[in-house]
Chains A and B, each alone.
Chain A
């Protein structure tokens, strides 16, 4: 070992954290299901690394160093709490050590940890935050700010979820074949929820939220690498890459919102689009179409239209038809109506939109009112359009989007 500077030690620790955090948590908690204890032991190991490495040098295998220290801490803690912890817990800690000695290479069971975090028995709203913490090591304060929650409340809910994993006996493993499709859906949904939180901050002013989109892409890559035969994992990856590719084009330099139809195609990230296309193509070869692949295909169509000037609205409507059949989601119905307007005109689109106007979920959904207002304006019903814009403006929390809606409303005579 060569002595390394404090800065170097920090960098090595940060890199090990990114690459190994989830692997080490998954390994340390695999048998006991005690994610919180594994995290605590690991964070002590990272603290020890930052003291030790600048003095004694960075280890050749930082991951193994961290595991050795963390498992020692885990045993110490279990011994200290001997009278509190069950005898099984104690045995498990010893076994974990034995396992670590057998494997020179630490097995990567991050996916099992992800399946536990997104288990149907875990509250839907906490699955994405839990995954971000347990697999990537994001701290509760940062997750809380991204999910617009107080750090105390987020911390409490994370602790509660980890307690449930341990006490209810939720296994940290990949589910069996017959359960896999359903269970994978909850994992992908949680990843997409994390991405969506990051995506809402389009201007990228809030680092915690902007990074969340990147972290979600990282998690999805992990899933698609470990389950290479699952087309929906690739579908979601493609969907997020398409969206992320357009991030720079979504806002003017002044921070104003720019809708897809007016974005500068030159600002799109070609590399990400190419990667998205490749993922989607690979997924489509597997012969099972589902929600994320359809949504990615719609993004692909938008990209092709804007880049090559292909009029592909009929194809977009067809994709929304399929999505609607599959999900019954009013959001798909709203987007379908907007696409239909490009082929059959605003009156036909309004008629299509009316099919969801009785759904209580859309009444508080800004895009429904914005789409309605836009279609009404195009049919010349200006007074009704103004009313619909009014509701849309009241429902929008992003200032720059609200500004665009206000401008459109003002443009109506």
Chain B
């Protein structure tokens, strides 16, 4: 199963760090990425530019509005992600627990809704069993 680990953190933390601290922080992430790669579970990973550079689109009364800034107005902002392929949630949580992001922010783990390889269409979900 594939899981997306999304990393949220207080962006002001990075800017207040000394260059040495920033270097150490980057090194920790590089080591983590390398470990995922060595284990053969890494599918993709990226760091995002600060949320101040985000642009948001939404439809208001039938018109698409373009707005400056991120969708969620919160101290912790999405800062990057890892896409990994592991057998189950326990394995995903174990990797997420080793992510440096846990030390200075929040890591959310979500399963990928898989696509049918034959049709390249998202698979439907069985309707929820009626409450018993």
Residues of A within 8 A of B (CB): 36-37, 39-40, 43, 81, 83-88, 119-121, 133, 139-140, 151-152, 155-156, 158-159, 162-163, 167-171, 175, 179
Contacts and interface: CB of A to CB of B under 8 A. Distances in A.
B131 A83 contact: no
Interface string B25-44: 00000000000000000000
Closest 3 A/B residue pairs (Cβ): A155-B131, A86-B123, A171-B88
Contacts of B87: 169, 171
B20 interface: no
A260 B1 CA distance: 53
Contacts of B111: 167-169
Contacts of B117: 87
Residues of A contacting B: mostly:
helix
A86 B116 CA distance: 7
A140 B132 CA distance: 6
Nearest to A160: B128
Contacts of B131: 140, 151-152, 155-156, 158-159
A85 B90 contact: no
Best-buried of B93, B110, B118 by chain A (most CB within 10 Å): B93
Interface of B: 1, 3, 87-90, 92-93, 110-111, 114, 116-118, 123-129, 131-132
A234 to B, nearest CB: 25
Contacts of A133: 132
A40 B129 contact: yes
Contacts of B93: 120-121
A156 B132 CA distance: 9
Contact of B89 (A81, A156, A169): A169
B89 A168 contact: yes
A88 B114 CA distance: 10
Contacts of A168: 89, 110-111
Contact of B126 (A37, A88, A119, A171): A37
B88 A159 contact: no
Contacts of A158: 131-132
Contacts of B128: 36, 159, 163
Given A36-B129, A84-B126, 9 more contacts: A39-B129, A83-B124, A87-B118, A152-B131, A155-B131, A156-B131, A169-B3, A169-B111, A170-B88
A81 B126 CA distance: 7
A121 B94 CA distance: 12
Contacts of B118: 87
A221 to B, nearest CB: 26
Contacts of B127: 84
B126 A39 contact: no
Contact of A169 (B92, B124, B125): B92
A120 B92 CA distance: 13
Contacts of B126: 37, 81, 84-85
A171 B90 CA distance: 7
B89 A87 contact: no
Given A168-B89, A169-B88, A139 B114 contact: no
A84 B129 contact: no
Contacts of A170: 88-90
Contacts of A162: 129
A272 B114 CA distance: 51
A159 B78 CA distance: 30
Contacts of A88: 114
A175 B90 CA distance: 8
Nearest to A153: B131
Contacts of B132: 39, 43, 133, 139-140, 155, 158
